[in-house]
Amino acid sequence: MSFDPYLARRDFPILERTNRGQPLVYLDTAASAQKPRAVIDAISDVYERHYANIHRGVYELSEEATRIHDGARETVRAFLGAADVREIVFTRNATESINLVAATFGRANVGPGDEIVISGLEHHANIVPWQMLCQEKEARLRVVPVTDAGEVDLEAFEKLLGDRTRLVAISHVSNALGTIVPIREVTAAAHERGIPVLLDGAQAVPRFAVDVGELGCDFYVFSGHKLYGPSGMGVLYGRAELLEAMPPYQTGGDMIESVSFEKTTFQPPPQRFEAGTPDIAGAAGLAAAIDYLNGLGLDAIEQHELELTRYGTELLQQIPELRMIGTAADKTGVLSFVVEGVHPHDLGTILDTQGVAIRAGHHCAQPLMERFDVPATARASLGLYNVREDLDKLAAAIRHAIELFR
């Protein structure tokens, strides 16, 4: 059966509510996705029927909670095409996953004069941890330039790779522009020189099928809340041999093998990187989100969002006062723009009165805004539940705002 977004909408209870008295047009999925009933129910089910702390319980309830939590790791492994569940570390979000790699792999492998390569379209989460690491280690952060269309300049990228490059950290899909970065070319160029690659997949995993083996990356990070799952639940995939060699991140309960006042030994990955009680119900919610997406089919979701991205782009380009920011040939899910004479924040506020929820601001990508010489953009971002009518309403609301400011 083919994917029907109108049917899928019924799975999302929140889409029945209004926004400022108007039917809700939710166009902020890049910030966070709404949750299907299956995810909400999976979380409630843990708290209502299976909840206890995990791993050390000798009673039935704790064993059930452990099975649910650890079972979610297998669901994530299969979802990412990882070879082994030991390669899947649970974190709070993509931000924490990146900080984990910077604090462990980074501190262990980056020294004075070394270099880390990122791109000009990164989210702050994939800039600041590397910048801090470079400051600490007297290393250098190198930034691949972005073209006028909002694409990563691959020629310049290859030239930046050298003997001192210790890691490439790059977005799979840009949250501010929707650009899909050609990852296979990135990993091939980096691996030719023996450089590991971390991919920020926060905006990619909700939009198309990802296989870490096929991409050939060494680390892959994402957040559950952007994948129609719960907030507070994130993932770090790391190649087994890299994780094995990494020192712990946070320390305390659950990540140790044995503790004495003289010496502590640590669990192997992934437990080594998961100190303290995890988000047990969150893991169930994330697994439910993945099951839900698999049920709909990620390829169908991908086609749907690509079609909507094209439709929305055509529609917005018919508004003479509007300029798209980010016109990459390969892009999905995000429509970023500025409107002459209307500040993005004012635009966002007026759209809100029409029931249309978009985001206005720098999208945690201030260097990218600077690159395009704008302080902020308005951003409409798509989810599997969006339909053409949502974009029609967006365009109408923008025209209304332009009239108000005339």
Q: Point out the residues that are catalytic.
A: 364
117 touches ligand PMP (CB under 6 A): no
Whether 399 and 381 have beta carbons less than 8 Å apart is answered as no
Among positions 29, 75, 95, 271, the unique one binding ligand PMP when judged by CB under 6 A:
95
CB of 175 to ligand PMP, least distance (A): 3
The phi-psi region of residue 58 (left if phi > 0; otherwise alpha if psi is between -120 and 50; otherwise beta) is alpha
Compare residues 8 and 127 and give the one whose CB is closer to ligand PMP.
127
**Dihedral, 204, 101, 71, 253 alpha carbons, nearest 10:** -150
The Cα 228–Cα 36 span in angstroms is 7
Burial of 329 (0-12, 13-18, 19+ CB in 10 A): exposed
Compare residues 104 and 203 and give the one whose CB is closer to ligand PMP.
203
123 touches ligand PMP (CB under 6 A): yes
322-324 and 140-144: which strand pairing?
A: unpaired
Among positions 223, 271, 336, 381, the unique one binding ligand PMP when judged by CB under 6 A:
223
Q: Which stretch binds ligand PMP (CB under 6 A): 3-11, 119-127, 155-163, 321-329?
A: 119-127
CB of 234 to ligand PMP, least distance (A): 6
Query: What end-to-end distance do the CA atoms of the chain give, in Å?
Result: 48
Here the tokens at position 313 are 């782009």
Residues 125-164 that bind ligand PMP (CB under 6 A): 125-126
Compare residues 340 and 370 and give the one whose CB is closer to ligand PMP.
370
Compare residues 201 and 248 and give the one whose CB is closer to ligand PMP.
201
x-marked contacts with ligand PMP along 64-83 as a string, rule CB under 6 A: --------------------
119 touches ligand PMP (CB under 6 A): no
Here the tokens at position 89 are 């570390």
CB count in 10 Å sphere of residue 21: 7
Among positions 42, 94, 116, 160, the unique one binding ligand PMP when judged by CB under 6 A:
94
Compare residues 31 and 52 and give the one whose CB is closer to ligand PMP.
31
CB count in 10 Å sphere of residue 1: 7
Helix-, strand-, coil-residue percentages of the chain, each rounded to 5: 45, 20, 35
The Cα 270–Cα 252 span in angstroms is 14
Among positions 202, 215, 255, 301, the unique one binding ligand PMP when judged by CB under 6 A:
202
Q: Which stretch binds ligand PMP (CB under 6 A): 88-96, 133-141, 236-244, 367-375?
A: 88-96
29 touches ligand PMP (CB under 6 A): no
Query: Taking CB positions, which residue lies at the least distance from ligand PMP?
Result: 175
Q: Which stretch binds ligand PMP (CB under 6 A): 123-131, 156-164, 261-269, 311-319?
A: 123-131
99 touches ligand PMP (CB under 6 A): no
Q: How many residues bind ligand PMP (CB under 6 A)?
A: 13
CB of 206 to ligand PMP, least distance (A): 10
Whether 76 and 287 have beta carbons less than 8 Å apart is answered as yes
Among positions 104, 119, 175, 332, the unique one binding ligand PMP when judged by CB under 6 A:
175
The Cα 59–Cα 284 span in angstroms is 20
239 touches ligand PMP (CB under 6 A): no
203 touches ligand PMP (CB under 6 A): yes
What residues have CB less than 8 Å from 251, skipping those under 6 apart? 264, 275
DSSP structure string for 310-371: HHHHHHHHTSTTEEES---SSB-SEEEEEETTB-HHHHHHHHHHTTEE-EEE-TT-HHHHHH
The Cα 36–Cα 22 span in angstroms is 21
Which residues lie near ligand PMP (CB under 6 A)?
93-95, 123, 125-126, 171, 175, 200, 202-203, 223, 364
